[in-house]
Amino acid sequence: MTPAEDDGPSGVHCRLDELLEARGMTLTRLSELVGVSVVNLSILKNDRARAIRYSTLSAICRALDCEIGDLLVRAD
Question: What are the residue ranges spanned by the domains of the chain?
Answer: 12-74
Rounded to an integer, what distance in angstroms lies between the CA atom of residue 57 and that of residue 7?
Answer: 22
Q: What is the pLDDT along the chain (76 residues), one digit of tens a residue?
A: 444 445 556 799 999 999 999 999 999 999 999 999 999 999 999 999 999 999 999 999 999 999 999 999 998 7
Rg of the chain on CA atoms, in Å: 12
Q: Is 41 helix (H, G, I), strand (E, B) or coil?
A: helix
Model pLDDT, residue 10: 76
Domain with residues 12-74, CATH architecture: Orthogonal Bundle (1.10)
In total, the chain counts a number of residues equal to 76
pLDDT of residue 75: 85
pTM of the full predicted structure? 0.84
At 73, the amino acid letter reads: V
* Nearest-10 Cα torsion for 13, 1, 7, 14: 10
